[in-house]
Amino acid sequence: MHKSPSEMPYNPPPESAAELLYQDGWLLAFVKASGLLSVPGREAHLKDCAEHRAKKIDRNARIVHRLDMDTSGLLLFGKGAEAHRRLSRMFADREVEKRYIARVLGEVSEETGEITLPLAADWPNRPLQKVDEENGKPARTRWERIAVTDGTSLLALYPETGRTHQLRLHLAAIGHPILGDRFYGTEAARAAASRLQLHAERLSFAHPETGEPITLTAASPF
């Protein structure tokens, strides 16, 4: 059985000026490092997180969506209740295009593909999820191959749903676990990288005030 996040050692990376990618009167874009929680945990030692750091930049910052602790990349915050409401609605209505970068075990032969395996909580082993054809919620991930190198593949991932651990579990389920994935990776995948090789690279959406298209990008560190 896997330990819950609150039972695992928590050593968040140091704060950096590079965490702030963009801000205006309505929103703030934050680049979260791998190893940093998106929101605080219940215990006092889990207070340091992306949300806590964003509020140091602007006390009105409210987190709109989350990334796994092990995942790096873009997080969006609304400044104030109305901005948060509008941005949250965009995510709920799937009006935000998300692109992730992942390095996976194995040489992927196809150029593009789609994974539609339904997912559900693995209750005896929380926080893990599992593929559940009978009771799982629909989940869809599109992917494109970027490169193949030395027995691994670099993929661009486009999740069309936002299930917990969706990308990690979908890729593991098709035999290409993400390198460094301590939850769903094979022994070889876990040993191949010191951190999870999954990064939220790009968000595209309509600005909550003006409606103008906006695209934010944080380059992948791997």
Q: What is the mean pLDDT of residues 185-212?
A: 98
Which of helix, strand or coil describes residue 84? helix
Residue 80 neighbours by CB distance under 10 Å: 14
Mean pLDDT in residue range 58-77: 98
Tens of pLDDT, residue by residue over 133-150, are 999 999 999 999 999 999
Cβ–Cβ under 8 Å, residues 164 and 142: no
Q: Which residues contact 59 (CB under 8 A, 6 or more apart)?
A: none
Sequence spans of domains, the chain: 8-96, 100-198
Task: Give CA–CA dist 201/17, Å, rounded.
Answer: 18
Residue type, 65: H
Task: Provide mean pLDDT across the span 60-72.
Answer: 97
**What is the 8-class DSSP label of residue 178?**
B
Quick check: 7 pLDDT over 70? no
Q: Just give the CATH number of 100-198.
A: 3.30.2350.10
181 is catalytic: no
pLDDT at 39: 98
User: Does domain 8-96 fall into CATH 3.40.50.2300?
Assistant: no
| Mean pLDDT score, 6-26 | 91
Question: Torsion angle of alpha carbons 81, 82, 86, 88, nearest 10°?
Answer: 0
Gap between the Cα atoms of 57 and 30, Å rounded: 10
Catalytic residue among 24, 48, 58, 68: 68
The answer to whether residue 6 scores a pLDDT higher than 70 is: no
Q: What is the pLDDT of residues 174-183, one digit of tens each?
A: 999 999 999 9
Same fold, 8-96 and 100-198: yes
Q: How confident is the model at residue 84 (pLDDT cuts 50, 70, 90)?
A: very high
Look at residue 9 in the predicted model and tell me its pLDDT.
Answer: 86
pLDDT at 2 over 90: no
